[in-house]
Chains A and B, each alone.
Chain A
Amino acid sequence: NAGVTQTPKFRVLKTGQSMTLLCAQDMNHEYMYWYRQDPGMGLRLIHYSVGEGTTAKGEVPDGYNVSRLKKQNFLLGLESAAPSQTSVYFCASSYSGTSTYEQYFGPGTRLTVT
């Protein structure tokens, strides 16, 4: 099993450009999450999904959109990138039920917006 994979690993954008980050998991997990990690800030939740076709806002959703058209994929979109969105983005997934809090993380996407 590949676990959680993220595409791309690195990306540089100019202010105002758009892009989509792809997360895929092969563990048949119900829940999926997008976090951003900035120095000294820990992991902050952007959006999450509790199942195919559903999404919800997390702690820092502004400037991002998400979609979960297939159970195994969770897409994070930036419509008009800003320098404040320079960060490392992590996708995670988990089962529903008693072990739902045990998250499996992808390797991250390092995004720089100039």
Chain B
Amino acid sequence: GQQLNQSPQSMFIQEGEDVSMNCTSSSIFNTWLWYKQDPGEGPVLLIALYKAGELTSNGRLTAQFGITRKDSFLNISASIPSDVGIYFCAGPPSGGSYIPTFGRGTSLIVHP
């Protein structure tokens, strides 16, 4: 199936630092989604992006739909301990598929 490459695989940061992660694909995507999975829980949708170039914020989180439509970025400002978890990007490749593909996730650990 279609591969989404997320980087970095893991991040270890200090509380208060800003975080950046990204997701790339070899194919064009029409939608990008970012989810967060808390330890022991199911993923929860953070941000959905539907237009190339779109920049959307949700509190301290900001996500962007890349202009090439082959990438997306998620930034977290002023990290706090509850930001710990796995962040997944997802999206349906163009061509009519309504089944999103998921990246393998970026694991974030925040040290107090």
Contact between chains at A45 and B41 (CB < 8 Å): no
Interface status of A41 (Cβ within 8 A of chain B): yes
Residues 95-112 of B at the A interface (beta carbon under 8 Å): 98-100, 102-105
A3 closest partner in B (C-beta): B42
Give the docked Cα–Cα distance between A92 and B44 (Å). 10
Q: How far is the CA of A40 from the CA of B86 in the complex (A)?
A: 11
What 9 pairs across the A-B complex have the smallest Cβ distances? A105-B42, A42-B104, A43-B102, A105-B43, A42-B102, A101-B100, A101-B31, A100-B98, A107-B42
The SS class assigned to the B binding surface is loop
User: Given the known A-B contacts A42-B103, A43-B102, are A101 and B42 also in contact in the complex, defined by CB atoms under 8 Å?
Assistant: no
Q: Which residues of A, 62-114, contact B by the 8 Å Cβ criterion?
A: 90, 92, 99-108
A43 contacts which chain B residues (CB < 8 A)? 43, 88, 102
Collect the chain B residues with CB atoms within 8 Å of residue A99's CB. 48
0/1 interface trace, chain B 1-42, chain A, CB 8 Å (1 if under): 100000000000000000000000000000101010000111
Cα(A101)–Cα(B1), bound, Å: 17
Known: A42-B104, A43-B102. A102 touches B48 (CB 8 A): yes
Enumerate chain A residues within 8 angstroms of B98, measured Cβ to Cβ: 31, 50, 100-101
How far, in whole Å, are A108 and B90 apart by their CA atoms in the complex?
19
Q: Which residue of chain B has its CB nearest to the CB of A100? A: B98
Instruction: List 8 A-B residue pairs with CB atoms under 8 Å apart, sorted by A's residue number.
Output: A4-B42, A31-B98, A42-B88, A42-B102, A43-B88, A100-B98, A101-B92, A103-B43
Nearest CB of chain B from residue A102's CB, rounded to whole Å: 5
Tell me if B67 is interfacial: C-beta within 8 Å of chain A. no
Interface flags for A23-62 (1: CB within 8 Å of B; 0: not) read 0000000010101000011111100101000000011000
| Binary per-residue interface labels of chain B (67-95) against chain A in the complex, 1 for a CB within 8 Å, 0 otherwise | 00000000000000000000010111000
Measured CB to CB, the closest approach of chain A to B8, in angstroms, equals 13
